[in-house]
Amino acid sequence: MENSKGNLQMADQGSSKWHIFVWQTHLKPMLVAILIGVYVLIALATVISLLMNGIRPGKTLGWLLAIFTIPVGGVLLYLIFGRNRRRNKMFSEQNRIIIGEGSRLGDCMGELPGKGTKLARLIQRTVHCPVSCANELTLLRNGRKTFESIFEALEGAKELIHIQYYIYEDGLLADKLLEIFERKIAEGVTVRLLYDGIGSFSLSKKYLGNLQAVGVETAQFLPYKFGRFLTSINYRNHRKIIVVDNKIGFTGGINISDKYLKGDPALGKWHDDHLKIDGEAVDYLNQVFLSDWYLASGKKLDMSQFVPVPKLGAHGPLQIVPSGPDDDFDVMEQAYFSLINSAEKYLYITNPYIIPNHAILQGLMTASLSGVDVRLLMSSTTDMKLVDWCVRAYFESYLKAGIKIYLFPDGFLHSKVLLCDDRVVSIGTANLDNRSLQQNYEAQVFVYDSELCESMRRDYLEDCEGSRLLTDHKAFSKRPWLNKLLEGAAKLLSPLL
């Protein structure tokens, strides 16, 4: 028996050694060769895709260098951050709800001054939104006033409530909305809620369950899932939209978050701008919502059930510009670029994340060097240190061109506003960075109203008076070398921020 056991052990040991020998001499080299071959094929396909679909030579060259110098990592970075969605759309045009049916809205472009028609024509051609005039507009500054107006409109709903947000967080505001939804659904109102999968990642399952329990139809935009990580992580829905009965709409920079009421422990009070629209243009805002709703939920609603409702006696000429990574053109970048280049007297910008690409930077500098009063109003600090360094990396270029920089000290300034020559103002969700201009789904309103422009210009100048002004290029260039190093490193990442 002992000899038999010993023989079995020796046999097992011999078999184990043989398996190890086969693995090391045959299978392992074969597996490595297969993995290398697969990687080479993927890298080759990636390079071909870059060469065929790359629009910007500098950007294409950067990705090629990353692929050749960072094994595996370069390809992964490109697949997550670099692919051109305009060539590989996230959903087909045949199934997409075509937003911007011009025949649904009145077109009053002929009433605009000559200088405004160039921008208006651009917007109409790229997003098919005509200039709509039968609207009453109300500017809402900061959270408390905005939510008071929103709650009032929701309480008056008779047929439908469509609500869409990038950030929708648990808290007092969310609980108040739930109460209103439950009441309105009991009265026969249809409520649909769309939230972003990443921006609203903290929204609790309990709250979502409560929404569904009272009858709210919910959908999550590109939820965070491992299988869809590469196709969705870099493309977020940054829009903030509310539509009530297709008559009253809201959009702007304010999310559903209690920090708009209580402030932020690190940054203090949050300041922002929102716009209330009462009139026919709300129908176009609703089309934007329905397009996103279809992409997120797969439910395509019949547009004929929604009818534009003009505001009689009102005159608020505007256009709504939705943009996204699957548009045929860089819609938001083109609209901003056109507005910047049209400035003759002044261009006042409020934005927390001004990280311009080459075209926007040259537009701002050219306007300032041409004698236009160009001012940038932003917070003295941001909610992300890396972004703060990147924002400041462009200060020297601004100051050298004579652009005035105002650093707002009282809390965090989150508004996304452009004012131009008392004739055009842009209010919405889009930042002046690569993410908003090319990757996110955004919505911006361009208003051609001199009274609103003048009112907002006065508020802007008042905010400037309470801010720290930077104008001295030479003095700023003498800042510590460590600051310059951090800003330069962060600037390299600007295409990804």
Out of 223-227, 339-343, 361-365, least confident range: 223-227
Please pick, among 184, 247, 259, 414, the residue that the annotation labels catalytic.
Answer: 414
Pairing of strands 424-428, 442-447: antiparallel
pLDDT at residue number 15: 58
> Is 404 in a helix, a strand, or coil?
strand
Rounded Cα distance, 125 and 100, in Å: 10
pLDDT at residue number 94: 36
pLDDT band at 62; cut points 50, 70, 90 = low
Instruction: Write the single-letter amino acid at 398.
Output: Y
pLDDT at residue number 327: 82
Between 479 and 75, residue with greater pLDDT: 479
**For residue 437, what are its two tokens?**
């201009």
Mean pLDDT of all residues in 91-116? 61
Q: Identify the sign of the CA torsion 416, 125, 239, 144.
A: positive
String of b and e for 346-356 (b: at least 16 CB within 10 Å)?
A: bbbbbbbbbbb
Burial class (CB in 10 A: 0-12, 13-18, 19+), 281: buried
Instruction: Write the single-letter amino acid at 386.
Output: L
Q: Annotated catalytic, 118?
A: no
Mean pLDDT of all residues in 177-187? 98
Please pick, among 421, 433, 449, 463, the residue that the annotation labels catalytic.
Answer: 421
Q: Annotated catalytic, 416?
A: yes
Fold classified for 134-314: Endonuclease; Chain A (3.30.870)
Rounded Cα distance, 142 and 126, in Å: 31
**For residue 381, what are its two tokens?**
């600090």
One-character DSSP codes across 30-50? HHHHHHHHHHHHHHHHHHHHH
Mean pLDDT of all residues in 77-93? 56
| Contact call for residues 202 and 170 (beta carbons, < 8 A) | yes
Pairing of strands 346-350, 373-379: parallel
Q: Annotated catalytic, 107?
A: no
Burial class (CB in 10 A: 0-12, 13-18, 19+), 32: exposed
**For residue 52, what are its two tokens?**
């065929």
315 Rama class: left (phi>0) / alpha (psi -120 to 50) / beta: beta
pLDDT at residue number 100: 45
Instruction: Write the single-letter amino acid at 144.
Output: R
Pairing of strands 273-279, 135-141: antiparallel
Please pick, among 162, 184, 196, 240, the residue that the annotation labels catalytic.
Answer: 240
Architecture of domain 121-128+319-497: 2-Layer Sandwich (3.30)
Q: Annotated catalytic, 473?
A: no
Count of C-beta atoms within a 10 Å radius of residue 468: 11
| Contact call for residues 178 and 151 (beta carbons, < 8 A) | no
Do you know the residue count of the chain?
A: 497
| Contact call for residues 448 and 307 (beta carbons, < 8 A) | no
> Is 442 in a helix, a strand, or coil?
strand
70 Rama class: left (phi>0) / alpha (psi -120 to 50) / beta: beta
Q: What is the pLDDT of residues 264-313, one digit of tens each?
A: 888 888 999 999 999 999 999 999 999 999 989 988 888 888 888 888 87
Q: Annotated catalytic, 162?
A: no
Residue percentage of the chain with pLDDT more than 70: 78
Q: Annotated catalytic, 128?
A: no
| Contact call for residues 281 and 249 (beta carbons, < 8 A) | yes
pLDDT at residue number 8: 44
Q: Do domains 121-128+319-497 and 134-314 have the same CATH topology?
A: yes
**Beta-carbon contacts of residue 364 (< 8 Å; ≥ 6 apart):** 340, 347, 356, 374, 398, 401, 403
Please pick, among 162, 184, 196, 238, the residue that the annotation labels catalytic.
Answer: 238
Can you give the residue ranges of every domain in the chain? 19-82, 121-128+319-497, 134-314
Average pLDDT value for the chain: 85
| Contact call for residues 229 and 118 (beta carbons, < 8 A) | no
Please pick, among 162, 184, 196, 245, the residue that the annotation labels catalytic.
Answer: 245
Between 326 and 85, residue with greater pLDDT: 326
Q: What is the pLDDT of residues 197-217, one digit of tens each?
A: 999 999 999 999 999 999 999
Please pick, among 416, 433, 449, 463, the residue that the annotation labels catalytic.
Answer: 416
**For residue 238, what are its two tokens?**
């940054």
Count of C-beta atoms within a 10 Å radius of residue 217: 16
